[in-house]
Structure formats: structure tokens, C-alpha cells
Amino acid sequence: MDKLRTVRGVNDLLAETLNNHNFVINKGLNISKKYCYSQIDTPIFEFSEIFTKPLGKTSDIVTKENYTFEDRSGDLLMLRPEGTSGVVRAFLNAGLTQDIPQRFSYFGPMFRYERPQKGRLRQFHQFGVELLGISSSMGDLEVISLANNFLKSLNLDNKIELKINSLGDTDSRLNYRKVLVDYLNDFKKELSEDSIKRLKENPLRILDSKNPSDQAILTKAPDVLNYLNEFSKDRFQEVCDGLNSLNIDHKVDKNLVRGLDYYCHTAFEFITDQLGSQGTVLAGGRYDGLSEILGGIKMPGVGWAAGIERLALMVNANYKNNPDLVLMGLSEKFNLDLLQMMDRLIKDGIKTEILYTGNVSKKLKRADKINAKFAIIIGEDEISQNIVNLKNLKTGFQQGIKLGDAINEIKSLLNINLE
Ligand code: ATP
Ligand code: MG
């Protein structure tokens, strides 16, 4: 290795980016708690088949995006590329099928071998929710409403629009599949290589193609909504009417299908035009077939996942970890006294950093650089008189007072500054 570097598309998260990530995650957790979703954390790697069975042999993730490895006992494992399969597996393992509905929220890293670019990474992070055990359109509406309120709490609702479609039930999908294959067969020569492969195995996925010549062909493709059976059509109408009642703006997009194979009925995406071609910030849908594919009982489910990196690019949490107070001694021999003092200061909620090295003028320069508001300086005299020297770094005012009084003064001045 000639240079110290991370793997392409796998980044360190430094303070500023991480603050934005945490801002997004905390808003997600807060709003999900209000909707009574419980947080769940599933493993970062699982047996490969937990992901390959539901995603299907022809999905991007299984054909070219996964990180798979054999461990020392020969088990085939995969770094998780998405959250839903793991959550449903955990739900089945925990024996929760008799105790439905269950509501889950999660966040964490996901791994896909993709071509890295802005908003597209190989290790990225998602925040997501899953609602298991509700088959009616109310489940779809609940998770979309949660997503909408999540984006609102990030102040992004006017920068993002909701697109929605229905894939219908199994009958409708099979029906549409035939019609779509007939249409696409006429353009076989112009389709991308990937799409030609999918024409046999999973033609619906072609609708999701990002290839420009595929997209041109798709503009005139038959509309899935025209091939839904009565039940699926009524169900989709309920979702659209429900969104209107909830005042959630949406557009029907006939080419919207989820990239993953286990979806049925409602599919939706929240999209922005502010992130170039990586515009989908949150995507989800209904996956009633997933539990059975994993070997469980039939169990309806609906949920979504949001790309934390993409949302973090659009928010500015503006959080700075600057200290309220710095502690310094006239020499290094006072450093342990300062650490003792720190115990008490943090109990009082004062953000404190100790400056261990250098002379006092160097320490004051550092305090200025990190934008500290107060300094406590101690030496032999202060220790013997049991006081501290408190300096207001904005006004320069300095006084020798008891630590308790210094704490009160800092707290009251900080409150005044906050107003
Ligand atoms: P895309 O069409 O952008 O590849 P996808 O259909 O593969 O997205 P999902 O599997 O639905 O995406 O994941 C949900 C969300 O996670 C996406 O809408 C996006 O915000 C985010 N996401 C997916 N892949 C990546 C990635 N490689 N890097 C960063 N964020 C991602
Ligand atoms: Mg993708």
C-alpha cells in the first residue's frame, strides 16, 4: 500500500458530516417513536441467502453489487445491502408472528459494490421503518405519512416530491408481465444488455432501467395501472384517496417499480431535483411475499428506507462542538486538579475542554481558535486559596472566585447569551 487511504466509495465520517447524519437519524427516531415504532438493530452480515432469496437472482444487488465472503467455517455470508430482509428475518426468529402488528425502525450502514459518485457510495447508511401484519391500504398510508412527517421535520418537504405507483397483486403482475414482454420484444435489438437478460427472467425490473435508450423505449410501454385487476385497482385508488385526505401531494408515475423483487401493490419514492441524478432520497413499498420467501408464514409488510447521505447533503445541522469553557493550569502539574474539576463541570452541563500543554499565552491562543467562551486558570495561589481564576474570553474580564460561583456565573451568562 503506497498511500494510507480508504476503499473507494467507503468514507470516514468527520465531525461536520457526522453531525448532519446524526441530525437526520435523530429526527427519524423521534418521529418513529411518536408513531410507536420500536428501534431494531440486526447484524451487519448474515447468511447470503437471507438477501439473495428475496432479492432474486436477477437483481442488481445479487448479480453485481454484493459483498459476499466465505468465513473460516465455509459459511457463505453477505454484508447487508439493505435492511428489510434482516428485519423480517429477526421478526420471524423472535416468534412475533402471533403478536401483530409489529412496527420497527432501524438505521445503520449498508454495503453495495456500485460506481461511487456524489450520493452513491459502497458503504452508505439508511434509516428505515417496517410495518408488519397490516395488509390493508391503511398500512401503506401510515408509513407514507410517517415518511412525509420525517421529511417535514428536516424542513425538506418543499424540496421533495412523492411519486407513487402500484404493481398490483400476483395475478395483475403476471398479466402485465405478458403484455410488457410482448411490447419489449419488438425492441429487442435496441435494449441494453442487462434488459435483454431481464426480458426472460424479470421483465418488470426493466422499467427501473437507467439506460437512456431503454428509457426512450419505455416512454411508450403499456401502463401497469391498465392491467391491474379490480381488487388491485380499488386498493390503489384507496391509497391515492387516502393521500389526498392526509393532504400529502403525490404524482402517479407508471414506470416506478422498486428495484427489489419482493414488492407488490404500492411502490413509492420521495425525489428531489437538488442532488443531480441521485435524486431518490427515500423509497419503499409493500412486500407481502417476503416472509414466505424467507421460509416464514405469509405475513403482509410495508416499509421504506431513506438514504442518510443524500438527506445529510440537504440539511445543515450547524452543530459545532466548541467548548463553553477551557481549563488551564499555569504548569502541567495542575492537570490532574483540572481533570477532577471537569467531573463537576460536566455534571452541570458545561461543555469543557482541558488544555494540557504549552504556556498560558499559547493556551489562550488555542482557546480563541476553538471559540471557547470562558477560561478557568489555576496556579499555586488559586489552589491554596481554594478559588479559581475565571476569565470571560469575550470581554476579557477576569476574577478570582469559588468554583461553585464560577459555575453559576458561566451558566447564567450562557443562558443570557442564548436568549
Ligand atoms: P438507486 O435507484 O438510486 O440505485 P435503489 O433503488 O437501489 O436506489 P433502495 O434499495 O430502494 O435504492 O434504497 C433506498 C434508498 O437508499 C435510496 O433511495 C437511496 O436514497 C439510498 N441508497 C441506495 N443505494 C445507495 C448508495 N449506493 N449510496 C448512497 N445511498 C444509497
Ligand atoms: Mg441501486
Tell me, what's the pLDDT at 331?
95
Tell me the C-alpha distance between 147 and 132, whole Å: 16
Cell numbers at 365, concatenated: 491562543
Tell me, what's the pLDDT at 259?
60
Query: What angle do the packed helices 137-153 and 15-34 form, to 10 degrees?
Result: 140
Tell me the C-alpha distance between 164 and 146, whole Å: 15
Domain residue spans of the chain: 15-169+229-314, 325-413
Digit-by-digit pLDDT tens for the chain (419 residues) are 568 999 999 999 999 999 999 999 999 999 999 999 999 999 999 999 999 998 877 778 888 899 999 999 999 999 999 999 999 999 999 999 999 999 999 999 999 999 999 999 999 999 999 999 999 999 999 999 999 999 999 999 889 999 999 999 989 988 998 999 999 999 988 999 989 988 888 888 888 888 899 999 998 999 999 999 999 999 999 999 999 999 999 999 988 887 666 789 999 999 999 988 889 999 999 999 999 999 999 999 999 999 999 999 999 877 777 999 999 999 999 999 999 999 999 999 999 999 999 999 999 999 999 999 999 999 999 999 999 999 999 999 999 999 999 999 999 998 744 43
Ligand 1 closest atom vs CA 282: 18
Tell me, what's the pLDDT at 1?
59
Tell me, what's the pLDDT at 419?
39
Ligand 1 closest atom vs CA 112: 27
- Of residues 285, 292, 414, 418, the one with CA closest to residue 345: 414
Tell me the C-alpha distance between 371 and 356, whole Å: 17
| CB-CB neighbours of 124 under 10 Å | 20
Asked if residue 120 has its Cβ within 6 Å of ligand 1, the reply is: yes
Cell numbers at 80, concatenated: 447487508
Q: State which of 79, 123, 126 you would mutate to test the pocket of ligand 1, scoring each by most atoms of that ligand within 8 A of its C-beta.
A: 126
Q: What is 325-413's CATH superfamily?
A: Anticodon-binding domain (3.40.50.800)
State whether the Cα torsion 204-207-212-214 is positive or negative. Answer: positive
Tell me, what's the pLDDT at 210?
83
CA-proximal residue: ligand 1, atom 19 (nearest):
307
Asked if residue 280 has its Cβ within 6 Å of ligand 1, the reply is: yes
- Under 8 Å between Cβ of 38 and 105: yes
The CATH code for residues 15-169+229-314 is 3.30.930.10
Q: How far is the CA of 126 from the centre of ligand 1 (A)?
A: 9
Asked if residue 305 has its Cβ within 6 Å of ligand 1, the reply is: yes
Ligand 1 closest atom vs CA 126: 16
Considering every ligand atom, which ligand is closest to the CA of 278? 1
Q: How far is the CA of 272 from the centre of ligand 1 (A)?
A: 13
Cell numbers at 318, concatenated: 450547524
Q: How far is the CA of 116 from the centre of ligand 1 (A)?
A: 12
